[in-house]
Amino acid sequence: MTARCVMVLGTSSGAGKSWIATALCRHYARQGLRVAPFKAQNMSNNARVVASISPSPAGGGQGWGQPAPAEPAAGPSPQPSPQRGEGADFLPLPPAGEGRGEGAAPLGEIGSAQYFQALAARAVPDVRMNPLLLKPEADTRSQVLLLGQVSRELSALPWRGRSERVWPPIAAALDALRAENDVVVIEGAGSPAEINLMASDVVNLRVARHADAACLLVTDIDRGGAFAHLYGTWALLPAADRARIRGFVLNKFRGDAGLLAPAPEQLQALTGVPTVAVVPMRFGHGLPEEDGVFDDRPVGFDDKTGSGADGSSASSYQNDIDAPRRIAIVAYPRISNLDEFQPLKNVPGLTLAWARTPAALAGADTIVLPGSKATAADLAWLRAQGLDAAIAAHAARGARVLGICGGLQMLGEALIDEHGVESTDNAPGLGLLPLVTCFERAKTVRHATQRFGALTGAWAALSRVPVTGYEIHSGRTVQHPAMAARGDVAREVMAGLAWQNGAGNVLGVYLHGLFEDAAVLRALFGADAPALDAVFDGLADAIEQAFAPGVLDALVQRRTPANARV
């Protein structure tokens, strides 16, 4: 089996490549085809823990074979794992050991976008779907992960020096997926017409050529200049690569589609490429944003009709600005895994806000310190904004504070980094939990199914609640010994993973995915968020209505001179 490849390219970042690729994954899966997503290189601090590759060369070439099976869950899971053909909610794969632990099934990291695309395809996510992941640690430095594992050697290389080193495993990962599936939906990055990067490209044109992909070129028409963006991108491509563009897609359109004429026809006359879809603007399409903080518009809310995108009442989806409950998430520069908060947008009676100033925390019932790819640097930024004092005042009033992963580390008394993992200096924490974190060279990457112990005070509703999530961190957190000697002890409410202060209102957890767990949402808010599977079907419905008849089928047909274009 050699899969037909459909590639989604964009005229820029933010054009909508990720969600259209996700929609295509579900569309082709609904046709009964075996589908896998692929993005050669992703730059994002939103990552998921997935199956790694088998160490034996089982048909993948270059030693990159089948994904290794995950260990069975050490206890009942509240939802089915996302096996091919099954529905899936916002949940990771079944729990397993650490990625490099002795006797444990190997695990690795991929960008969240490909994780969700795999679920949309009804496939089990694995590291081959995003073989190269760059996690920015500063404006000019990223941690590089190859096939799910941190590579310090590649991280130290300059950007252009990596391409020839990483291309063989990238190509092998794509070849292995093509051998196992009917369709591979490939997502590009940024724009394929970045002429300063073409010589070292491993994610756009080089992938398209290797896969002989049928390409769509997507543009964000809401920004303006869409036809110029499409024509300029097409014009900058080498002639052979222009021929791969099977259609232009106008994404995020709002208004009267009749006003577009005669531009699509004129563009086709200039390029020979038809405009095959006009995709309406979808505020809150239900997927987490791949990069940056997602907007605060209602999920599934239709501006024109005032109803949900699926026909339901808008109030069942939207975060009402007058809602009685308000959660403020601190949005520091290197925020990571923000996608785990998407389900909160779907909870009735809840407002979700992103906070970069003390004023943005005003009136919040709960303040959340999320994960960070640069904990010490983000903690310094937080202090520079005056957010530390605002958080301390909030906690002093007895209001809820939650720290997740890097946020947990910030809540403690001290960050100790003797190995220079994140910083060359040690730093004081916020002092809201009597804990100390020591950064270690080894990275913890694993799934976990655990149960909270007995909690008190503001977080008591989580007592005895089972939760499934995942860990991605480099630090180890323990009780501060000197503070313990004085009687100030953090209550460990989940062994090695969660601690609570004596007053009961400050909680720190290492486990990502709390708000993706249905049991946690019910315990804290008495509500369920819409299932992710329904989101995927809604995305597929949208593109099936937007694309011209026959286009989506034609993209996965073998090309001949008679059907070289859609």
Q: What is the DSSP letter of 467?
A: E
Structure tokens at 422: 């994140």
Q: Are 71 and 104 contacting, i.e. CB atoms less than 8 angstroms apart? A: yes
Please state, as a whole number, how many other Cβ atoms lie within 10 Å of the Cβ of residue 129: 29
- Rounded CA gap, 184 and 123, in Å? 11
Per-position DSSP letters for 389-456, written without gaps between them: HHHHHHHHTT-EEEEETHHHHHHSSEEE-TT-SS-SS-EE--SSSSEEEEEEEEEEEEEEEEE-----
Whether omega for the bond prior to residue 370 falls within 30 degrees of 0, making it cis, is no
**CB-based contacts of 447: which residues, under 8 Å, 6+ apart?**
49, 70, 92, 93, 94, 95, 96, 107, 468, 469, 470, 471
Letter for the amino acid at 174?
A: L
Q: At what angle do helices 112-120 and 532-546 cross, to 10 degrees?
A: 80
Enzyme catalytic residues: 405, 512
Q: Are 225 and 18 contacting, i.e. CB atoms less than 8 angstroms apart? A: no
Nearest-5° angle of CA 319, CA 289, CA 498? 75
Q: At what angle do helices 17-30 and 532-546 cross, to 10 degrees?
A: 90
By three-state DSSP, how is residue 48 classified? strand
Beta strands in 88-223 (DSSP E): 107-111, 132-138, 141-146, 149-150, 183-187, 214-220
Based on C-alpha coordinates, what's the Rg of the chain?
Answer: 24
Q: At what angle do helices 112-120 and 17-30 cross, to 10 degrees?
A: 20
Residues 17-28 as b or e (16 or more Cβ within 10 Å = b): bbbbbbbbbbbb
Q: What is the DSSP letter of 560?
A: -
**CB-based contacts of 401: which residues, under 8 Å, 6+ apart?**
366, 367, 368, 369, 391, 394, 395, 411, 432, 505, 506, 507
Helix (H), strand (E), coil (C) string for 229-252: HHHHHHHHCCHHHHCCEEEEEEEE
Q: What is the DSSP letter of 495?
A: T
- Rounded CA gap, 235 and 271, in Å? 8
Q: Are 354 and 387 contacting, i.e. CB atoms less than 8 angstroms apart? A: no
Point out which residues pair with 350 in neighbouring strands.
325
- Whole-angstrom CA distances from 36 to 92, 118, 186, 269, 488 are 17, 6, 9, 34, 51
Letter for the amino acid at 484?
A: A
